[in-house]
């Protein structure tokens, strides 16, 4: 049994040691906004915030979370920066298939929390999530938009 702090709430989960946080979220807690894409920290679809920093939850064993605060896409708009990011995503009509976009929104939120006025290079290095639909330019524009808002 592990006690996690997710979106400000304490959640007890009865899972094996070694279970990636991603599957605790999706299958144990039914929070399916966070996506599984690769399972090896390559695609970023599973990105959540851990104490405000972007974390690929597929490579984060549940026991490593400890008392850290986890924020998922389900609660991202409760955060001021996250709210601006989602608004910019909608205004910029960013998603295509949308499957990568939860992770993109979380990565953008983390980036802007750390770097409120990101340069193009900051976006390039801070947003390494894959998008098979090729929305990279729309994402970069939305990040800049959210930074301005």
Q: In the complex, which residues of this chain contact other proteins (CB under 8 A)?
A: 15-16, 19-20, 23, 26-28, 30, 32-40, 42-43, 45, 72-74, 76-77, 86, 89-90, 93-102, 105, 124, 127-128, 130-140
Nearest to 3 by CA among 73, 101, 69: 69
- How many Cα neighbours within 13 Å face the side chain of 142? 28
Task: Choose the contact partner of 15 out of other proteins, ligand FES, none; CB within 5 to 8 A by kind.
Answer: other proteins
Q: Are strands 69-71 and 2-6 parallel, antiparallel or unpaired?
A: parallel
Q: Note the residues at the interface with ligand FES (CB under 6 A).
A: 36-39, 41-46, 56, 58, 95-101, 131-133, 135
Task: Choose the contact partner of 3 out of other proteins, ligand FES, none; CB within 5 to 8 A by kind.
Answer: none
Q: Estimate to the nearest angstrom the gap between the alpha carbon of 111 and the chain centroid.
A: 11
């Amino acid at each position: 049994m592990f006690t996690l702090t997710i979106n400000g709430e304490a959640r007890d989960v009865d899972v094996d040691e070694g279970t990636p946080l991603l599957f605790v979220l999706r299958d144990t807690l039914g929070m399916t906004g966070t996506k599984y894409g690769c399972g090896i920290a390559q695609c970023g679809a599973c990105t959540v915030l851990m104490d405000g920093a972007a974390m690929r939850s597929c490579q984060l064993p549940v026991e490593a979370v400890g008392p850290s605060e986890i924020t998922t896409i389900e609660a991202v708009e409760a955060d001021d920066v996250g709210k601006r990011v989602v608004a910019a995503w909608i205004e910029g009509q960013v998603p295509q298939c949308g499957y990568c976009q939860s992770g993109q929104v979380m990565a953008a939120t983390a980036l802007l929390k750390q770097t409120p006025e990101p340069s193009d290079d900051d976006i390039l290095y801070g947003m390494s999530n894959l998008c098979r639909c090729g929305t990279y330019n729309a994402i970069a524009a939305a990040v800049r938009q959210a930074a301005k808002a």
